[in-house]
A and B are shown apart, each in its own frame.
Chain A
Amino acid sequence: MNGLAILIPIALGLGLLGLAAFFWSLKNGQFDDPEGDARRIFMEDDEPCD
């Protein structure tokens, strides 16, 4: 019983953390352009482009 009192809040908290992270990423526009983000990693923009 004591174990449950610790483990269940931890389990729920982790789940909620994931949910919060998802909400944040949705609000932050992380899913707005999945295809573009996949291609942007190939772009070399370390050097100034001017």
Chain B
Amino acid sequence: MNAAASLSMGLDDWVHDDFAVPDIRCAGCISKLENGLVNVPGIKSARVNFTEKSVRVDHAATMQLPQLVGAFLSLGFEAHPIDSSLNSDLDQSGKTLLRCLAVAGFAMMNIMLLSVSVWSGATGVTRDMFHWLSALIAMPAIAYSGRPFFTSAWKALRHGRTNMDVPITIGVLLATALSLYETATSGPHAYFDGAVMLLFFLLTGRYLDSMMRDRARHGVTALLKNMGTGAMVLDAQGKSGWVDSTDLQSGMVMLVAVGERLAADGLVMSGNSAADKSLLTGESKPEKLSPGDSVHAGTLNLDAPITVKVTAAGPDTMLADIARLMGEAAQSKSRYVRIADRAARLYAPAVHCLALLAFGGWMLAGAGVHQSLLIAVAVLIITCPCALGLAVPAAQVVTAGALMRSGILVKDGSAIERLSEIDMVFFDKTGTLTIGRPQPSNLDDIAEAEKPLLLGLAQASRHPLSKAIASNLEQQDIRPADITDIEEIPGLGVTASWHGKSLKLGKAENGAHIDGGDSLTTVFQVDGIETVLTFSDELRPDAHDALEGLHGMGLDALIISGDRAAAAAPVAKTLRLTARANMLPEDKLQLINSKQHSGKKVLMVGDGLNDGPALAAGHASMAPSSASDAGKNAADFVWMGSGLGSVVTAIRAARNTQKIVKQNFGLAIGYNIIAVPFALAGLVTPLIAAIAMSGSSLIVVANALRLRGSTK
């Protein structure tokens, strides 16, 4: 589509990389990116994937990550590299299911047409021929489309367990074998249509399930900002180059720019700055950094560029410790058995006993092996858990879609089930109950006439405090003034002039701290007249309402914070919650585990790296989209926007979903109670089986569709 600018790059190899670009919103962005990127020397072509909000870039192997990200930035887009190898496996499984579904659909339609002729009265040779044709279509189709069920059933049986796929596999295989025998002996009834239709409906459920997972996964990938995956490293000659985080070694010297996160643990060598460790520890107040201080990977450098000597990298960092804790914590979650499988544990033996009883009963009644087997197979087909296989994923997919429209990403179906069961909520403080970014609290002290000047200054700087000022003023519909001579002095601030007046935004000149010690301040000067701006981390705007909503649902809430007690107490007081402060990642994990051992089911809501293990351990977990990568990866739900109300919305939707799922189970069981006696009595012909099966599937899907408004 795009004219690949053929640049003569000599013998360079072309490689491709994927980038998540969350800001792709319109057709204009597509052409801007694709045409703009090919004009960058070293980039051969770029292809935007709008659905996944990602861009695949073919570039010269000599081009490094920062250069590529810079190319995106120059076009006005923020880009984050994606590790595409992680996704391809899962994409493949979704495509396999879709292929199986297509084959089953094709086979089902054709066999059904042939079956209709048989039911409308074809007899003798014609019927036999139609049966043979059906067999010819059904056998390869079942062998191809049934694989997901057969392999899963075999795996379960080999480990001495049973799951939903076991009765499905037995039912399909027995029905096919018997139908083949019927066909060979010119019998009147063949169940090929039933067997293939069963696979079709179940594959539909399976595919819906995988589609939901894929969609959420792509959404989360686009949110991951794994830019901490490397650093600019100074070599002995004083030249700098990009080194991937996996190749960082002790002793290397990293250049860390303002606004960058550290890729490894180390010691500050030069530069005076402040560090934001809130993602790492939950500590809300920036910490001063001066040469000789030790810093951890994941820390955000706030004030001025610093050089850091690496002391530990890769598996030795504090980050890696947290990752290891998370791995262990996640194991308990993987033991969760989904509701459909739990139902199948009761259902499968019951169905098999029933079929056996039918066989034995008719044998005793003197019906002969053939007749008895036919009835037993009819029982199996009628009771095959079509509704179970479709009812649960259909309901969950509809809910996941509704949640996504209101800005909540769901990782998978089991997350919805788990969320509906929780009876306690643990909140992290910094970044979860609060916004996590310092917000100016006294902007109104600035005269209206001077606000445009302040905005002009703030926009010129990339310092987090300046950004906070700029975004707040922009929200007040203020236009920046036309200021000139803008100069940013790292670590000190921005200066400029406007109509002969000198302007400054930055640290207080005499270095004296005017604040009480706990809050951040910066000074805005117009011609030497100072105004002190203070910043604080505000509560999310709807935190009160959200907590009231939780209370109304009968859920207890608790704050577990890594911050100091003095910082956690005011938040706890305003929200009237109990808080535990100074919690290390291990402490949070332990508290959740001990609660869960005593039978509680805990929802963990958190954002930081230090919440990672707790998020992984919680019965369910949620993270805001501003969370650390580790937090977003570990959480079951990720919500966009600044509101805490999403937590309440998600819990309510999950509970509604579970209600519908249970109704669907009720419908499925009710249908069995009516249909099974007919099957036992030997009255179920292939025609009745086909009608009953599609009828019950349609009913459960229609019931699931009622969830479309579940987030309102």
Contact = CB atoms under 8 A, between A and B. Distances in A.
Interface of A: 1, 4, 8, 11-12, 15-16, 18-19, 22-23, 26, 32-37, 39-40, 42-43, 45, 48-50
A33 B51 contact: yes
B30 A39 contact: yes
B553 interface: no
B365 interface: no
A20 B35 CA distance: 35
B98 interface: yes
Contacts of A48: 3
Contacts of B1: 40, 45
Contacts of B99: 23, 26
Interface stretch (B106-114, B394-402, B678-686): B106-114
A43 to B, nearest CB: 5
A1 B106 CA distance: 24
Nearest to A1: B126
A16 B110 CA distance: 10
A49 B133 CA distance: 56
A39 B26 contact: yes
Nearest to A16: B106
A26 B31 CA distance: 25
Contacts, number: 60
Given A26-B95, A26-B98, A45-B1, A35 B103 contact: no
A33 B50 contact: yes
11 contacts: A4-B126, A11-B110, A16-B106, A23-B102, A34-B51, A36-B30, A37-B50, A39-B26, A39-B50, A43-B30, A50-B3
Contact of B52 (A11, A19, A33, A37): A33
Given A19-B102, A23-B99, A45-B31, A35 B51 contact: yes
What 10 A-B pairs come out closest when comparing CB atoms? A36-B50, A39-B27, A35-B51, A49-B35, A33-B49, A35-B50, A19-B106, A33-B51, A42-B27, A43-B31
A33 B56 CA distance: 12
Interface of B: 1-3, 5, 26-27, 30-31, 35, 39, 48-52, 95, 98-99, 102-103, 106, 109-110, 113, 126, 129, 133, 137
Contact of A49 (B26, B31, B52, B110): B31
Nearest to B5: A50
B4 to A, nearest CB: 12
A36 B48 contact: yes
Contacts of B137: 12
Given A22-B102, A23-B99, A32 B49 contact: yes
B124 to A, nearest CB: 11
A48 B31 CA distance: 12
A15 B95 CA distance: 20
A35 B109 CA distance: 29
B30 A40 contact: yes
Given A39-B26, A39-B30, A15 B52 contact: no
A30 to B, nearest CB: 12
Nearest to B91: A32
Contacts of B126: 1, 4
Contacts of A32: 49, 51
A27 to B, nearest CB: 9
Contacts of B110: 11-12, 15
A49 B3 contact: yes
Contacts of B52: 33
A36 B51 contact: yes
Given A11-B110, A23-B102, 19 more contacts: A1-B126, A4-B126, A8-B133, A12-B137, A15-B106, A15-B110, A16-B106, A19-B103, A26-B95, A32-B51, A33-B49, A33-B51, A36-B50, A39-B30, A40-B27, A43-B27, A45-B2, A45-B31, A49-B2
Contacts of A43: 27, 30-31
Contacts of B98: 26
Contacts of A26: 95, 98-99
Given A11-B110, A45-B1, A36 B49 contact: yes
B62 to A, nearest CB: 24
Nearest to A42: B27
A43 B29 CA distance: 10
Nearest to B49: A33
A35 B5 CA distance: 26
Nearest to B39: A50
Contacts of A35: 50-51
A1 to B, nearest CB: 8
A8 B129 CA distance: 11
Among B1, B39, B51, B113, which residue has the most Cβ atoms of chain A within 10 A? B51
Contacts of B113: 11
Among B49, B50, B95, which residue has the most Cβ atoms of chain A within 10 A? B50
Nearest to A34: B51
A8 B3 CA distance: 48
A49 to B, nearest CB: 4
A15 B109 contact: yes
A31 to B, nearest CB: 8
A39 B98 CA distance: 25
A19 B48 CA distance: 28
A33 B55 CA distance: 11
A42 to B, nearest CB: 5
B623 to A, nearest CB: 25
B196 to A, nearest CB: 13
A23 B35 CA distance: 31
Nearest to A41: B27
A44 B209 CA distance: 38
Nearest to A5: B129
A43 B431 CA distance: 40
Contacts of A4: 126, 129
Contacts of A19: 102-103, 106
Nearest to B125: A1
Nearest to A32: B49
A4 B133 CA distance: 12
Contacts of A8: 133
Contacts of B51: 32-36
Contacts of A40: 1, 27, 30
Nearest to B48: A36
B106 A18 contact: yes
Contacts of B106: 15-16, 18-19
A23 B99 CA distance: 7
